[in-house]
Structures are given as structure tokens and as C-alpha cells.
Amino acid sequence: MLRILLLIVSLAVSGAAQAQARVGEPVPAFDTRLLEGKALPGAALKGKAVLVVFWATWCPPCQKELPELQALYEQYRSRGFEILALSIDADQFVVEEFWKDHEYAFPVAMKAPAHTQAFGPVRGTPTLYLIDRKGVLRMAHTGPLGRDALEARLKPLL
């Protein structure tokens, strides 16, 4: 009985690992409910270079990097660049107030199970995933990256 249980758990874990995006492979489609309540279907990001950033209001490196992301968003949005900020905060109200105070223009949502299924567990903040126009993951990075390094990775995808 114990062996059967271990086999089931093992298969479940390996199946979940296969669903997680890996650099060079397509990112599984996912839908998102934005803070404002609107749905952002995965299909809306199709054909765009997309940066998915997992962040938190209490994370100093995130607070430093978000304005840099806003600048990149303003510079490259017209060329097909999109950012999706996914907060790992526990309190949605805190995130809403933070976002209002900073007036970032790119979409923001709370991290949901669909995001964990697509990208795996968040092991640190910020965590950045850069996806090309074909939906292939081109970069996975945990920790601050900085505008110049991110821009260098983004430009070839536009």
C-alpha cells in the first residue's frame, strides 16, 4: 500500500514539474484576473514579448526595479512588449494601495494557482520570466536584474 502511495505521489510531482516552463520551451497558457477585476486571457499576450515578474510590496529590490520596468514598458510597449506583474503578497488591499500610490501602467494581479502551474514555485523576489513572441521562455531570473541587462535581453525579442 505504501509503495502504491509513493508511486502516485511521485507521478503527481513529476507531472507538475513537466508543466513548469523551462528556458527554451513554450510557456503553458494561463489566464489572469487583474486587480481591477478584468480577465486577462493568455491569448491576449500571444504574439507579444512578455515579461512576467513575481514581486512583493515588502521587497526592497522589487521597489527599486518596478520604476525601471515602467520605463522599459513605456519605451517598448508600442513595439509589442507587455509586462504582467504578479504579486505574492497575502493582502490584495495592500497591493492595490501600493499600485495606486506608484501609478504603474502595466497590468498587475495577485499570484494564482495557474501562475504556479505555469512557472513553478516562486523562490525569491523579484523573479522575472521573459517570453518571446512565439510563447517560448527565453529567460528565468531570480533577484534584481537591472534595466540595462533586461533591455539587452528584451531587444532581440521585439
Judge residue 70's burial from the number of C-beta atoms within 10 Å of its C-beta, 0-12 exposed, 13-18 middle, 19 or more buried: middle
Ramachandran angles phi, psi of 77, nearest 5°: -60, -40
Q: Give pLDDT, residue 19.
A: 55
Alpha carbon distance 139, 36 (integer Å): 28
Cβ atoms of residues 117 and 28 within 8 Å: yes
CA dihedral 50, 70, 114, 19 (to 10 degrees): 40
Residue-wise pLDDT for 117-130, tens only, equals 999 999 999 999 99
Residue-wise pLDDT for 20-76, tens only, equals 779 999 999 899 999 999 999 999 999 999 999 999 999 999 999 999 999 999 999
Residues in the chain: 158
